[in-house]
Every structure is written in structure tokens, then in C-alpha cells.
């Protein structure tokens, strides 16, 4: 019942981040954005990173995706040192970043097309995922005809197409209105339940973090450090109503005060 079993003691971590530090050099001088960050992500875990803006969350996520080589420290995926971008890592940004010249289906198929996977297999897998995110009727639609929430679902489907081991979400609902955002959170939980992916999600919303995650990792402002990690003991499956329970409120309060 409890999500506490997601500590990394038992099963080996899917991803481990060890002593990551990063400094941006600019004309005004060096800015240290991350300082000695270490944590592990367990298989099938849903981990949320929260922190004030400017705590280097996005930089951290780019490093975890292998898009930015760390200056110090290392990232390991299934125990192997991460040296570059991997297909086993799915990425969703705050913006859906769909190609406006491609239909929904063509957008979702793109990663497979690039990998040289036969067209009919690609389309079959894409259509399955588009159905999973609830857009079966919109396979042929153009991104410009989609709402923000729908476009973001397409981005999620695309991130899942390589059947990645880990999904990195960088404030995926940050650009959506509050109502859509809440619904998308529930939707993400449903997809996560079906696909059982390991998820690391950056968010600004404490509510969202506590509702979705097994663990919430709080980062301090610049330079970002791991300030505290909270276990979220609420039972699963959770629904949106969970956020009105007393234990939810109590935990959200503690996360809030940890952020400072």
C-alpha cells in the first residue's frame, strides 16, 4: 500500500546521479547552478523535483538526459555511465515542441522513423500510444488544431514511443491552465499505471508533486542542492480527491516549508 518501498536499497537504481555540479560561465562572471547533487531513482518510481525558479532544475534534467555533459560528477543509467543522449530516455518539455508540418501520428512516429524502424510497425505503435493518451480520433490532425493539453498528450505519446526506461518531464504542465493541468496530472498517473515507467518530473507545483510522486526531492535555490527528500506515503491508486485528505495537507505543508 505504501510507496515507501521505492527506496533504492532493494532493487538497483534505474538512474543514479552522483555529486553533480555545474557552473555556467557568462560575461558577468561564473554562476554556480548545481552543487554536489546526488540521488537515485528506483525502477517504476515516480520522483518529483521541486524548487524555486533558478535552482537549476532544467540543467539537472538535461544532464540526466545526456544532453549536457556534467562538469563534475556523473549520471548512470542502469549502472552504465551516461555519456550522451539515449533512446531509453524519453523527454517532455514544458512546450509540446511538436513539428507543425507533421500530423499527430507523424509526430509520434518520428523517433521510430529516425531509428529506421519499418513504417507499418511504427504507425501501429504510434497509434497504440495515441489511443493510450486518449487522442485516437486525432491521429491525422495538425498540431495547430490541438489545444495545449492535447498537444502535451501527443508529446507524452512521442516520449513513450521508444518504450524508454525512464521518462524525464520538465514542467510538462507548466504552460497549461489550472483545470487542464489538474486533469493532465490524473491522466499522467493513469498512463504511468498502465506503462509502469520510471518517471522524473520537474514541477513548480507542490500540490502536483505530492499528488503524483512516490518521493519529492526539494532543491535549494542557486546553487541547487538537495535540501530534503520526502516519501509520499499515500496509497495508490490515487485520484484527484486525495489532495483534500489531512495527510496530503500536512505533507504539502512540510514540503512547502522545506523550500523556504
244 binding another protein? (CB under 8 A): no
Which residue among 43, 111, 185, 224 contacts another protein (CB under 8 A)? 111
Choose the stretch contacting another protein; rule: CB under 8 A; options: 4-12, 44-52, 63-71, 200-208.
Answer: 63-71
**Residue 242 burial class via C-beta count within 10 angstroms: exposed 0-12, middle 13-18, buried 19 and up:** middle
Distance of CA 57 to the CA centre of its chain: 11
Torsion, Cα of 21, 32, 260, 214 (10° steps): -30
Choose the stretch contacting another protein; rule: CB under 8 A; options: 6-14, 86-94, 218-226, 236-244.
Answer: 86-94
Q: Which residues contact 197 (CB under 8 A, 6 or more apart)?
A: 44, 90, 160, 164, 165, 166, 167
> Least distance in Å: CB of 103 to another protein?
9
Whichever of 35 and 82 has its CB closer to another protein, that residue is: 82
Which residue among 2, 69, 72, 115 contacts another protein (CB under 8 A)? 115
Cell of 252: 504539502
141 binding another protein? (CB under 8 A): yes
> Least distance in Å: CB of 146 to another protein?
10
Nearest C-alpha neighbor of 230 from the set 61, 18, 92, 46: 46
How do strand 166-170 and strand 29-41 relate by DSSP bridges? Answer: unpaired
Whichever of 78 and 207 has its CB closer to another protein, that residue is: 78
118 binding another protein? (CB under 8 A): no
91 binding another protein? (CB under 8 A): yes
Amino acid at each position: 500500500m505504501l510507496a515507501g518501498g521505492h527506496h533504492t536499497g532493494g532493487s538497483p537504481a534505474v538512474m543514479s546521479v552522483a555529486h553533480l555540479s555545474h557552473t555556467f560561465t557568462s560575461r558577468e562572471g561564473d554562476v554556480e547552478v548545481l552543487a554536489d547533487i546526488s540521488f537515485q531513482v528506483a525502477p517504476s518510481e515516480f520522483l518529483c523535483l521541486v524548487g524555486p525558479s533558478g535552482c537549476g532544475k532544467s540543467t539537472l534534467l538535461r544532464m540526466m538526459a545526456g544532453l549536457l555533459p556534467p562538469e563534475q560528477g556523473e549520471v548512470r543509467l542502469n549502472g552504465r555511465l551516461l555519456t550522451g543522449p539515449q533512446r531509453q530516455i524519453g523527454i517532455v518539455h514544458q512546450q509540446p515542441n511538436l513539428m507543425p508540418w507533421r500530423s499527430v501520428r507523424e509526430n509520434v512516429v518520428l523517433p521510430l522513423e529516425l531509428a529506421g524502424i519499418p513504417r507499418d510497425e511504427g504507425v501501429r505503435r504510434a497509434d497504440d500510444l495515441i489511443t493510450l493518451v486518449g487522442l485516437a480520433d486525432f491521429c491525422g490532425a495538425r498540431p495547430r488544431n490541438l489545444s495545449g493539453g492535447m498537444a502535451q498528450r501527443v508529446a507524452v505519446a512521442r516520449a513513450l514511443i521508444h518504450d524508454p526506461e525512464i521518462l524525464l518531464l520538465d514542467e510538462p504542465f507548466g504552460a497549461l491552465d489550472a483545470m487542464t493541468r489538474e486533469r493532465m496530472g490524473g491522466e499522467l498517473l493513469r498512463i504511468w499505471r498502465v506503462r509502469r515507467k520510471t518517471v522524473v518530473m520537474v514541477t513548480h507545483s507542490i500540490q502536483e508533486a505530492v499528488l503524483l510522486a512516490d518521493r519529492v526531492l526539494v532543491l535549494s535555490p542557486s546553487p541547487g542542492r538537495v535540501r530534503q527528500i520526502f516519501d509520499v506515503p499515500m496509497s495508490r491508486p490515487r485520484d484527484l480527491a486525495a489532495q483534500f485528505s489531512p495527510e496530503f495537507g500536512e505533507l504539502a505543508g512540510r514540503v512547502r516549508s522545506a523550500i523556504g
